[in-house]
Amino acid sequence: MDKNVKIYIAILVFIFGLVLLTDKGKPKPIDWTPTYSVNDKIPFGLYIFDHEIKDFFKNQKVEKISTQTPYEFLDAQYDDAENVETYKIRGTFINISEANNIDEQSMKEILYFVSHGNKAFLSMRAFPKVLLDSLQIELKTDFLPSENVSVWMANKIVSTKKYTFNTGLSDYFSKIDTLNTKVLGYQNSNKNKRQINFIEVPYKNGFLYLHTQPVAFTNYNLLKNDHYQYAENVLSYFTKGNVFWYNKSFNDKRISSSPLRYIFSQPALKSAWLLGLLGILIFMIFNAKRKQRIVPIIKPLQNLTVDFTKTIGNLYYQEGDHTNIIDKKIIYFLEKIRTDYLIDTSKLDEEFIKKLHYKTGKDEKDIENLVRLINDHRNSYHGSLEEDLIKINTAIEKIIH
């Protein structure tokens, strides 16, 4: 192995060891991204809720919707047979998300599902506009960077206990239809009085339940003290019928499909990967110089036959011996006819013209013109010899090219 290569390897090993010593004992940073994904064990994922959902909905069938939109799922369950026009399923549609992950068409389908005597529970910080407009509801957000939010149920029979969430913000309903809307839950902070965060809204033959604190169902709060009890209190309104949980989070669409996704998700692996690429780059830079002599360019041998032919042609032309050139052209032409087409050239008559026409496929008039020019030359009928040379050469090229 080359001495320089050994030095480069030693430097890389030293740097790699230094990085390992620096990261040794360093705690893994906590990812506080609110993904609301059932696959994430980070604080604001729904991994715990996904595994405990059967305990929240005891003696109820829970069907997860993760590969379809709410519209695709519910529309497939609609029975449009004559005199039926209702859904094949009955129960509660639920969705828990940081942001609005329901498209407008799906929201309209959910409302239609509710109108047929079903329920829908939406816990999110931003609701679809079509829903807010339909129910005449307004939502407001107060940013509380260093304050806690206390939440509790409005119905004392359900629970009288307050639970404190350190959410950093406070979403609540600032305007509702008081004649038709029932308040189910409240919240407040150190600076704000009681705010509405959980409501029940009748919609035709069904009910909509809107909740502004989805953080209550995340891993962080379900594992913290007795906060899971608040989630149980909220979900206690849906103890009958099947549950259809739309658990495709807003962030799932942004998960990379790259084979390196896991490597870049782990800080240690990401550092090792980047360090390896840096080492390869350094190695390439220091080994970019040539390892052998430049290969000399060898010029190909010249075609001396062509040069010789050109020289002879120029000599004839400079001498002005056009007759001699014409004779040689004719001799070359007739020899080629005899060799390639096996045609007798002793007599250049009508029979010769037809045979040459059949075998070459050339125009018969061009062959007649060439034969006429050759016979005229042989009979010493000359005008301008230079002009005759051009005519015969042109006529010959039409036949043999």
SS3 letters for 151-170? EEECCCCCCCCCEEECCCEE
DSSP assignment, residue 214?
G
Q: What's the pLDDT band for 1 if we cut at 50, 70, 90?
A: low
For the segment 216-272, what is each residue's pLDDT rounded down to a tens digit? Answer: 999 999 998 899 999 999 999 999 999 999 988 654 544 555 677 677 767 778 888
Beta carbons of 218 and 47 less than 8 angstroms apart: no
3-state secondary structure (DSSP) of residue 36: coil
How are beta strands 195-203 and 91-97 bridged, if at all? unpaired
Residue 302's pLDDT is 72
Residue 196's pLDDT is 93
For the segment 154-197, what is each residue's pLDDT rounded down to a tens digit? Answer: 999 999 999 988 765 678 999 998 899 999 999 987 666 789 99
Regarding predicted confidence, which is higher, 285 or 55?
55
Residue 271's pLDDT is 80
Among residues 88, 91, 126, 90, the alpha carbon closest in space to that of 107 is found at 126
250 Cα distance to chain centroid: 18
How are beta strands 182-188 and 195-203 bridged, if at all? antiparallel
Largest CA distance in the chain: 134
Beta carbons of 374 and 367 less than 8 angstroms apart: no
Among residues 192, 285, 227, the alpha carbon closest in space to that of 49 is found at 227
Among residues 231, 143, 154, the alpha carbon closest in space to that of 192 is found at 143
Domain ranges (residues) in the chain: 1-29+256-298, 47-254, 304-400
Query: Within a 10 A sphere around the Cβ of 110, how many other Cβ atoms?
Result: 25
The partner residues of 139 in beta bridges, in order of sequence, read 173
User: Which residue matches tokens 């010899």?
Assistant: 385
Among residues 227, 52, 240, the alpha carbon closest in space to that of 152 is found at 227
Q: Residue 56 pLDDT more than 90? A: yes
Q: Residue 291 pLDDT more than 80? A: no
**Mean pLDDT score, 79-85:** 77
Q: Which residues of 274-284 are buried (b: 16+ CB within 10 A; e: fewer)?
A: eeeeebeeeee
Beta carbons of 192 and 212 less than 8 angstroms apart: no
Among residues 105, 117, 91, the alpha carbon closest in space to that of 207 is found at 117
Which CA distances in Å does 61 have to 9, 38, 73?
60, 18, 16
Beta carbons of 200 and 207 less than 8 angstroms apart: yes
Residue 394's pLDDT is 86
Q: CATH fold of 47-254, please?
A: Rossmann fold (3.40.50)
Q: Which segments of 24-93 does DSSP mark as H helices, in order?
A: 47-56, 70-76
